[in-house]
Amino acid sequence: MLDIPALARLTEAADGVAPLDESTLLAVRHRPDSVRVWGDNRGFGLLHGDELSLVVLPHERGTGLGRRLLLQAPDGARLAWSHGDHPAARALAAAYGWDRVRELWVMRRPTTLPLPSWEAPANVTVRGFEPGDEEEVLRVNAAAFASHPEQGALDLAGLRERMAEPWFSADGLITAWDASTRRLLAFHWTKQHSPSLGEVYVVGVDPAAQGRGLGKVVTLAGLAHLRDLGVDEIHLYVEGDNTPALGLYSGLGFSHAASDTHVQYRRA
């Protein structure tokens, strides 16, 4: 049986970018019956839902293995990610009729940049996650990401899976509440990957609370939390066509390099 996480780590060490996204790795670990895998220790294909991943070990590239794995993909493979916009993936997609349909940018910010000060609006309480908050977090997440193909599908099982990960910290899930109604207005879930690297994991604002500056408030609170943990850099993922979010993050000192782009392809 293939050790998918180990092979993914080997590929990441060579390329500097993980070849599988978080939801796919969680499915491999917790729900192996939900994925289909083919190949061997030289490289493998994996289907999770309708999303295809092809992983070829660095020393096996240029041998046609990626093409063979693609041709073995089940008919249900409709979408595919190229993490890091790999040139071989671009060539393979062009040769076999997969269209480039989506870009996910990685933006980065050194913690040496000063942070603007922030203050919670009147009648808003900002605090870390507490047991019992799950229902409200899921409600706001579903409303904020109703049109997002991955984040919007988060359910209680998925939330608990993520909270069981070694990186989870209740203090790192910043929540903003209406002090009168005790309803969640916004949240910023941070992640610490290593002593030097943090992430703006998810920022969600209830659509009913938009226009009050709460997205910026919880974002700044989370950035301050990561800075105080001592990380050197903070990164985030954002849709390449999300102009308002790109403007917000650029204004907070985040920048994007062309090589820091993940590309989604759709079978024509």
What pLDDT, in 10s, does the model give residues 114-154? 999 999 999 999 999 999 999 999 999 999 998 877 787 89
Cα 9 off chain centre by: 17
* Regions of the chain where pLDDT drops below 70: none
What is the CATH superfamily name and number for domain 113-231? Gcn5-related N-acetyltransferase (GNAT) (3.40.630.30)
> Can you give the pLDDT at residue 153?
84
pLDDT score at 107: 97
Task: Give how far Cα 89 sits from Cα of 57, 80, 81, 206, 219, Å.
Answer: 14, 10, 9, 37, 34
The whole-number pLDDT of residue 22 equals 92
Which one-letter amino acid corresponds to residue 209? A
Give the pLDDT score at 27.
94
SS3 126: strand
Alpha-helical runs (H) found in the chain = 4-15, 22-30, 65-71, 87-95, 134-144, 156-163, 214-229, 243-251
**Pick from 145, 220, 142: nearest CA to 176:** 220
Are the CB atoms for 137 and 177 separated by under 8 Å? no
Same CATH topology for 4-105 and 113-231?
A: yes
User: Is the CATH number 3.40.50.1400 carried by domain 4-105?
Assistant: no
Mapped onto helix, strand or coil, the DSSP state of residue 180 is coil
The pLDDT of residue 111: 97
Find out whether 50 and 77 touch, Cβ atoms under 8 Å.
yes
Nearest to 71 by CA among 90, 49, 50, 95: 95
The pLDDT assigned to 268 comes to 87
Signed CA dihedral, 126, 129, 133, 134: sign only = positive
CA angle 182, 188, 194 (to 5 degrees): 140
Share of the chain above pLDDT 90, in %: 91
Q: Domain coordinates of the chain in residue numbers?
A: 4-105, 113-231
